[in-house]
Amino acid sequence: MGRWPVSEPDVIKLSTGTVPFGHSFVHSDAFKALFQEGMELVEDTASYLDGQGRTDSKLLPRDGVIAYATESMRLTTRLMQIASWLLLQRAVAEGEITPDQAQLEKNRVHLTRQDTVTTIDDFEALPVRLRELIGLATRVHARILHLERLMSEPETVPVAPRANPVAAQQRLLEQVFGGG
């Protein structure tokens, strides 16, 4: 899975004026790639948890089983947030809902940071594949939180630079005394 370019501008200028970042992003190839990556991660995780993950969890000691249950539940919650956000953005991109409707729906998605309560030792005792999936989901989730912040920021109106009072005084002096 590729790295996410985080240097996207908040607003993209076009000949017709400014377009909010969110509007342009949901129509971009970068969004399509993020959507595909996120949804594949949801499928891969579901497949693991319903298949090999069940076998892996049975091989863990009691504390490991508790950590496995906790972290798999956390992972599932994070992936539900990711999928909800991605599907909501795709609906906007495809014109199924308006950005205003999406804003109302976002209140139900609740993208939240999740702090882990699992100790490092318990985490490291989890099956490798589960740890990989947790890492991938954490990275996608962090990118989405970053994008959500960019997309939620109010549009800024460019402010004209203020005149430099020193330069104005210099121009007046040059006019009066004929500087050069």
pTM above 0.85, yes or no: no
What residue ranges define each of the domains in the chain, with the CATH number in brackets? Answer: 11-177 (1.10.8.930)
Contacts of 79 (CB under 8 A, 6+ apart): 41, 42, 45, 137
In which element (H, E) is residue 12 found? strand 11-14
CA distance linking residue 130 with residue 77, whole number of Å: 14
Using DSSP's 3-state secondary structure scheme, residue 84 falls into: helix
Q: How far apart are CA 94 and CA 127, in angstroms?
A: 39
Backbone angles phi, psi at 121, to 5 degrees: -60, -45
Looking at the DSSP assignment, which residues form a beta bridge with residue 20?
11
- pLDDT for 123-168, tens place per residue? 999 999 999 999 999 999 999 998 888 877 765 555 566 777 777 7
CA atoms within 13 A on the CB side of 166: 0
Mean pLDDT of the chain: 82
Identify the weakest region by mean pLDDT among 19-23, 77-81, 130-134, 162-166. 19-23
Q: Is the pLDDT of residue 99 over 90?
A: no
* Among candidate residues 9, 80, 113, the one with its CA nearest the CA of residue 88: 80
Lowest mean pLDDT among 20-24, 158-162, 167-171: 20-24
Facing residues of 18 across strands?
Answer: 13
